[in-house]
Structure 1
Amino acid sequence: MSGLKDALPPLREVVAAHGLAAKKALGQNFLFDLNLTGRIARAADPAHAELIIEIGPGPGGLTRALLAEGARKIIAIEQDARCLPALEEIAAHYPGRLDILHGDALSLDLALLIAGRAPARICANLPYNIGTALLTRWIETEPWPPWYDRLVLMFQREVADRIVATPARRTDYGRLAVLCNWRCETRILFDVSPAAFTPPPKVTSAVVELVPRAAPLACDRRRLSAVTQAAFGQRRKMLRQSLRSLGGDKTESLIEAVGLVPTMRAEEVDVAGFVALANTFSANTDSSMHR
């Protein structure tokens, strides 16, 4: 089913007809390659999803691929009003299967938006300027398991590397990797050349899949966020220094209590280690408050 066609005009003609040009301020890069949009769509397996949410569809290249691959219902959220007429043409071609929402995804509560239709599946060529912020919000959502069952997202390759990183790859491993891999199974599916986009970005992109874990290691999200922020915020320092703002004089003993060495640095600690630290520091904070 590679490169499925849908009887709509080629996307380049649609873009030309509506006078669309990608806006750098909105992080836009349009995808015209049918083989590529089809590959991304198939990775999301839209025919077996109750609802697909797409962020930043632009003129609708990936939207069309998702529908051609069997998506029963898509909510496409687009901030750029110039793209709405092109998306409305797609909606008319697929009656009842595409809802278009004009708005900023960062300001929307998607859990509320899909109330009663969960779980949803998110598939998107995310605008580069808001991609990490959106992902962090989705990973930190409560309650868990979340309102989505899979994320298939395109990022700059360097961001994708940070999402899937482990302590074995210290230059990429950081707070984002800990949070993502605590709650999800992550993997890079494939790279996307700059030549696939109009205009071509200066960097390679990658499609990443995140599948929520049904039962991640027990931990308070806010405490884990605080511990990782402190540790990686001063990643060149040893844990006994970077975590001192959270543990005070007990910092070293708290680190040792979970089987870690106070002279370790953040990039040496795996996800389970950070969860243990978060739980131990949290318990210390709680006990101090009740004295």
Structure 2
Amino acid sequence: MPQLRLPPLPTIGDIIRMYGLRAEKQLSQNFLLDMNLTDKIVRHAGSLNGRYVCEVGPGPGGITRSILHSGAKKVIVIEKDQRFMPSLELLAEASDGRLGLIHGDVMKYNMRNMFPNDLRKAWEDDPPDVHIIGNLPFSVSTPLIIRWMEAISSHSGPFSYGRVQMTLTFQKEVAERLVAGVGDPQRSRLSIMSQHLCKVKHAFTIPGTAFVPKPDVDVGVVHFTPLIDPLIQQPFKLVEKVVRCLFQFRRKYCKRGVEILFPYDYQELVDDVFEMTGVDPSTTPQWLTVDDFNRLCIAYNDICSRYPGIMNYNYR
């Protein structure tokens, strides 16, 4: 049986010095050296004992150590930066076969077959024994979570295993947007796209002073559990288009956002949308509920089915 505790290893700070590592500003890299905080991130993922974990962007391996200490059966890390591979290889050698390394870009890597097939569960079942954890670089966090939301909607990629849970870090403002409720000034496209597909929880905030180098903002840890049934049961691209257009004018009436869904010659359809949905056109987007967006998406889908080509219209 593999050992669940790692042998004595140099600290993450020592690893950084040993291998001459430094965070690259252009890659939005920040190192988290405090093992109490990395352990706390992992605890908020829930019990990982005997489970399989994919960690995204491990860097020098601080959170990786905490995942291994938690009793995870297998951990696979995806790291784009070649400079971190020697330090991760050192950790892999000490892990008694529990740590696997992938040198690649998570934005391009297909995570569909990372783990054994027998871990796959039906979508209606409890979440599988697979978890995604990551201290994401700020530069990729938003496009990556949108990509994963699309994968959740299609049950593809890592979510071919079922309702895989995720515990991820974001800059504090993005974390607040992900969980923002109706009327919250931070409510945005991210709020709707995540909340209609997942139960989203802001776990805790890490002060920027805990990172090296210190970022200009604090960092929020967010936990995601995919819902069995999305709250908006329409194609992902359609939902994303409607939500994006409405929040394009977040401080104006939502009618302005609906207007840009349609070409100039079809503006009479704007009033049809509000008649079909009962949504008040003078409401600003932050005050729209997920159910409001659901009705707007249903109406837009109905109109697109009657007027071929409108779905492909891009006001830009």
TM-score (norm 2): 0.85
Counterpart position of 2:103: 102
Q: 2:243 aligns with which of 228, 239, 245?
A: 228
Separation of aligned partners in 2, 1:50 and 1:124: 16
| CA offset digits 1:138-183 (Å, max 9, x no partner) | 01114248345211011111110010011221x2111110000000
Counterpart position of 2:74: 73
Q: Report SS of the residue matched to 2:154.
A: coil
Counterpart position of 2:261: 246
Counterpart position of 2:149: 139
| CA offset digits 1:177-218 (Å, max 9, x no partner) | 000000001111111011211111121111111110011122
Distance 1:126 1:256, change over 3 A: same
Q: 1:180 aligns with which of 194, 214, 219?
A: 194
CA-CA distance at 1:73 after TM superposition? 1.0
CA-CA distance at 1:282 after TM superposition? 0.4
CA-CA distance at 1:58 after TM superposition? 0.5
Find out whether 1:127 has 2:128 as its counterpart: no
Task: Give matches, 1:142-153, under 5 Å.
Answer: 142-144=153-155, 146-147=159-160, 148-153=163-168
Separation of aligned partners in 2, 1:187 and 1:47: 18
Separation of aligned partners in 1, 2:144 and 2:115: 16
- Is residue 243–residue 293 contact of structure 2 (8 Å, CA) maintained in 1? yes
Q: Report SS of the residue matched to 1:53.
A: strand
Percent of residue pairs identical: 32
Q: Report SS of the residue matched to 1:263.
A: coil
Structure 2 unmatched runs, 5+: 121-127, 310-316
| CA offset digits 1:8-29 (Å, max 9, x no partner) | 1111111111111111122111
Q: Report SS of the residue matched to 2:220.
A: strand
Counterpart position of 2:215: 201
CA-CA distance at 1:70 after TM superposition? 0.8
Find out whether 1:31 has 2:45 as its counterpart: no
Counterpart position of 1:214: 228
Find out whether 1:261 has 2:292 as its counterpart: no
Q: Report SS of the residue matched to 2:44.
A: helix
Q: 1:282 aligns with which of 281, 301, 304?
A: 301
Separation of aligned partners in 2, 1:46 and 1:89: 25
Task: Give matches, 1:41-56, under 5 Å.
Answer: 41-45=42-46, 47-48=48-49, 50-56=51-57
Separation of aligned partners in 1, 2:50 and 2:80: 24
Supply the AA of the counterpart residue of 2:293. F
Of the structure 1 ranges 143-152 and 64-73, higher mean CA displacement relative to structure 2 is found in 143-152
- Is residue 256–residue 262 contact of structure 1 (8 Å, CA) maintained in 2? no
Separation of aligned partners in 2, 1:85 and 1:245: 51
Separation of aligned partners in 2, 1:229 and 1:115: 37
Q: Report SS of the residue matched to 1:9.
A: coil
| CA offset digits 1:92-146 (Å, max 9, x no partner) | 1112211111111112122354573545311111111111111110011142483
- Is residue 6–residue 68 contact of structure 2 (8 Å, CA) maintained in 1? no
CA-CA distance at 1:47 after TM superposition? 2.3
Counterpart position of 1:162: 177
Separation of aligned partners in 1, 2:254 and 2:287: 10
Q: Report SS of the residue matched to 1:76.
A: strand
Supply the AA of the counterpart residue of 2:223. E
Separation of aligned partners in 2, 1:108 and 1:264: 41
- CA RMSD for the aligned pairs? 2.0
TM-score (norm 1): 0.92
Of the structure 1 ranges 127-136 and 112-121, higher mean CA displacement relative to structure 2 is found in 112-121
Separation of aligned partners in 2, 1:108 and 1:115: 17
CA-CA distance at 1:253 after TM superposition? 2.6
Separation of aligned partners in 1, 2:50 and 2:140: 25
- Is residue 55–residue 125 contact of structure 1 (8 Å, CA) maintained in 2? yes
CA-CA distance at 1:251 after TM superposition? 1.3
Supply the AA of the counterpart residue of 1:14. I
Distance 1:102 1:226, change over 3 A: same
